[in-house]
Amino acid sequence: MAIAMAGKWQAGNLPPELTSLVGRRAELDVVRTAVRHSRLVTLTGIGGVGKSRVALRAAAELRSEFGGGAWLVGLSALNDGGLVPHAIAGALRLADQTARPMTEVLAEHLSGRELLIVLDSCEHLAGPAARSSPRCSPPYRGCACSPPAAARSKWRARRWS
């Protein structure tokens, strides 16, 4: 899917922002810098503090730096961690009619592509979500949003190289 923004077509499926994001400039700077320098960035914090909003705004602002666009993969409805690769493929509108494992299909599709994937609400699938990410070689980058098991602070960004 391509989205027209200021006369320029950009790939991705990020939802449009319907309201403004106020007072998050410092957090956005941290997330943008982390995404530019790491393959995986995780935003953690208690529920409702705006991790998803910050991640989506950062992804929208970074989208032009990724030729393959910025993509949102919502994982809240999944109950089976084995379906994480299928959810990613679905968000990317990637269809495969073979019997190959979806992780292989994703790795092949993403090879040589520059894109940003935002995994949202993955706390209940942390292991499978993490196992799906490393198989995809750079320049794929990801930003995952989830509350930690015992959140003490408002939220934080964690870089994984």
Q: What is the pLDDT of residues 131-155, one digit of tens each?
A: 665 444 444 566 666 655 443 344 4
The residue type of 136 is: C
DSSP result, 112-125: T---EEEEES-GGG
50: nearest Cα among 29, 72, 28: 28
* Both tokens assigned to 91: 């968000």
| Angstrom distances, CA of residue 158 to CA of 4, 16, 84 | 31, 26, 21
pLDDT digits (tens, 9 = 90+) for 85-109: 999 999 999 989 999 999 999 999 9
Calpha distance 111→128 (Å, rounded)? 20
pLDDT band (50, 70, 90) for residue 130: low
Cis check for the bond before 101: say yes or no (omega within 30 of 0): no
Handedness of CA 126, 129, 135, 138 (dihedral sign): negative
pLDDT band (50, 70, 90) for residue 14: very high
The residue type of 144 is: A
DSSP result, 34-66: HHHH-SEEEEEESTTSSHHHHHHHHHHHHGGG-
Calpha distance 10→68 (Å, rounded)? 8
Q: Is this structure's pTM higher than 0.95?
A: no
- On whether the CB atoms of residues 110 and 140 are closer than 8 A, the answer is yes
- Residue spans of the domains in the chain: they are 9-14+24-160
Average pLDDT, integer, range 51-73: 94
From the candidate CATH numbers 3.40.50.300, 3.40.718.10, 3.30.230.30, 3.40.190.10, the one assigned to the domain spanning 9-14+24-160: 3.40.50.300
